[in-house]
Structure 1
Amino acid sequence: MDSKTASSPTVGREPQRWAKVACWAAFCSVIPSALWRLAMLVGVDTGFRYAQVYRDGGARTAYVLGLEAVQLCAAALCLGLCYPWGERVPQWVPGIGGHPLPRILPIVIGGLGDALLYLIIGCTTVRFASRWLGLAEGLTPTSGMSPGAVTVLTIAYAPMLIWPVALTAALVGYWRRRAQRTPR
């Protein structure tokens, strides 16, 4: 048996139930906001005052579509922390396909992404909350929205607060599952 097909003692273990729930929570937490932005782009009246600016095509439409692609791809990668495709290099990669991924690689990349999520989501939440509470001046996406539109926006974006926390739990699960077990 060659080294590519040799099984690693840290690959192929069943993920912990809580870790799998965390992976799926991380993935699902981004879908409502992505749907809200896509609805806004295709002309649904979301109440967002500047929707037409993003619908007119060009750079702003590309920005929203790019944001959707990055966000959904990053969220999909969270699922790799609980499925076999997150433990091995894909077979189609020349020379290294089928080899186990070093356990540290998804942890470092996921950890950096997680830290970035905490920073972006945390700063955005503080900035908007300070404006809504009258502690700071400036526009928010809710400026000029009806209470119903604000409620829909809140329902769409509130799950994003779960993403970094769920990713942290998923990373811990991945780390623990891929750890070498020592005989007792």
Structure 2
Amino acid sequence: MLHDLGTRVRSPLALAATAFLAAALGVLWLLDPDTNPFRHSEGPVSLLGLLPDAASATLLLLAGLLGLAVAALVRHPTRAPAGLRGLVTAAGAVTLALAVFCMDTQLISFIGYLCAMTIPLVAAALVVSALRRSTAARATALIAVGLVAWWGIASGSLAPDAVSELVRNLGDGFARVGARPWILVGFALATVQWLSTTLALAAPYTERLHRPSARIDRIVTIATVVAVLGPIPYVLVRATWLLPSGLFTGPITPADLDPSMRLWGLLLGAAALGGSVLTLGLIRPWGRVFPAWMPYLGGRAVPVAAAAVPGFAVAFVLTASAPSIVLLSFEQAADGDAESLWMLLLLPLWAWGPALAVAVWGYVRRRRLEALPAPQPTPAPGRMAA
């Protein structure tokens, strides 16, 4: 069974590369603690503040060394010792602990900002695609562009000054955050890689979950619906920014919105709405086959990895960031800001993340079942098969 590990882990070299980078970064942080952005607990709220300053560097080095050992043994499975299964599990546990303790509100904000920055490009691609389609699609696209232009002029959010201020503020913000959020993104991707490696060992024990089952299908559908609804409260609050200032105020809606802030808030809401739509694709036909209106891709099968890798990564980030959101909300509530508790409902990461993980797993399971050859009918007793 251990001999099959090399075939179930698709890329031992990628595993080794990740482990080497982790070990090198851990050594750097231990030799020069000032380069470790997770050393000081006065940064963004995270569980890492409960551990000593050198904990992140030590965990990172340990995860890297274990990863290198596993990658070497997976590369030559015939030499694998009897304890390989425990070694892989230990390495995955260390990596998971490192990522969970380091996750904080900065990462979820950073990813949200990156997604929001793609919204204008996505919108432009949709408009161009619609203009190449039917008359009804062209008319719809032109009406949508007209409404956006009218709103932008009326609110001042699309004025050159507002757009330039938004770009300038984004540039200043990315310059201030430094390498920390990018390292967190790397932690998230490495954790997903490690979890896939660890789960490869559990394949013989989870075989029953990969068989056709109406009960599992119902659970996956419910989880997908929960994941689709996860960002909707945030989307609805951001949608109020389309209305004049002062009508709705709250934890993320100031009483007076300047044009650049209004535009950025709406882009964040659009990004969250896009995530909800993409999640819905996990149980819809267009999540398995690209829609016909998509240039160059229409009619082709959606690669499983194209949905699984980002889906599991986002699910992990949401789940691992949930404790940080809870800690921050209760800390602010203890300081007298009772409205901060609403964030637990506006961004229900505690339910959204696990539900998305189940939804993505169900999508992968369904695609694998669809790829299996159809069962052949069993010949009747006493008959010769043709």
TM-score clears 0.5? yes
Is contact 2:316-2:357 (8 Å) kept? no
CA distance in 1, matches of 2:340, 2:324: 20
Are residues 1:57 and 2:259 paired? Answer: yes
SS in 2 for 1:52: coil
Considering only CA atoms, is the larger Rg found in Structure 1 or Structure 2? 2
Q: Does residue 30 of structure 1 match 2:223?
A: no
Q: Which runs of 5+ in 1 are unaligned?
A: 1-13, 135-141
**Match 1:171 to one of 341, 355, 360:** 360
CA contact (8 A) 2:319 2:349 kept: no
Q: Distance in 2 between matches of 1:45 and 1:39?
A: 7
SS at match of 2:249: coil
Q: Which amino acid aligns with 1:112?
A: A
> What is the aligned partner in structure 2 of residue 110 from structure 1?
311
Q: 1:158: how far off?
A: 5.8
Task: Note the C-alpha offset of 1:82.
Answer: 0.5
Q: Distance in 2 between matches of 1:85 and 1:70?
A: 19
Q: Which residue identity does 1:99 align to in structure 2?
A: R
Q: How far is 1:45 from its partner?
A: 4.2
Aligned-residue Cα RMSD (Å) equals 3.2
TM-score (norm 2): 0.36
Structure-2 separation of matches of 1:33 and 1:95: 33
Which residue of the partner structure matches residue 101 of structure 1?
302
- SS of match in other structure, 1:178: helix
- Provide, for residues 111-139 of structure 1, a one-character-per-residue CA deviation record: whole Å limited to 9, x for no partner: 122223234444222222334346xxxxx
Question: 1:181 and 2:383 equivalent?
Answer: no
Whether the aligned pair in 1 keeps the contact of 2:230 and 2:352 (CA below 8 Å) is: yes
Q: CA-to-partner distance for each residue in 1:5-41, whole Å, 9 max, x for gaps?
A: xxxxxxxxx9922222212111112212322343366
Deviations 1:60-99 (A, max 9, x none): 1122111100011011110111011000122233444212
Indicate the residue corresponding to 1:85 in structure 2: 286
d(CA) in 1 for partners of 2:252, 2:233: 19
Structure holding more helix per residue: 2
| Secondary structure at the counterpart of residue 331 of structure 2 | helix
CA distance in 1, matches of 2:348, 2:252: 22
Q: What percentage of aligned pairs have identical amino acids? A: 27
1:4 equivalent in structure 2? none
- Report 1 or 2 for greater relative contact order, CA contacts < 8 Å, sequence distance ≥ 6: 1
TM-score, normalisation: structure 1 = 0.69
Q: Is the 8 A contact 1:40 1:46 kept in 2?
A: no
CA distance in 2, matches of 1:45, 1:71: 20
Which letter maps to 2:263?
A: A
1:160 Cα deviation from its structure 2 partner? 4.3
Matched, 1:72 2:263: no
Residues 107 and 173 of structure 1, relative CA distance in 2, 3 Å threshold: same
- 1:29/1:165 Cα in 2 relative to 1: closer, same or farther (>3 Å)? same
Question: Structure 2: where are the runs of 5+ without partners?
Answer: 1-213, 377-386
Partner residue in 2 for 1:127: 328
Q: 1:45 to 1:170 in 2, by over 3 A?
A: same
Label 1:156 to 1:125 Cα distance change in 2 as closer, same or farther (>3 A).
closer
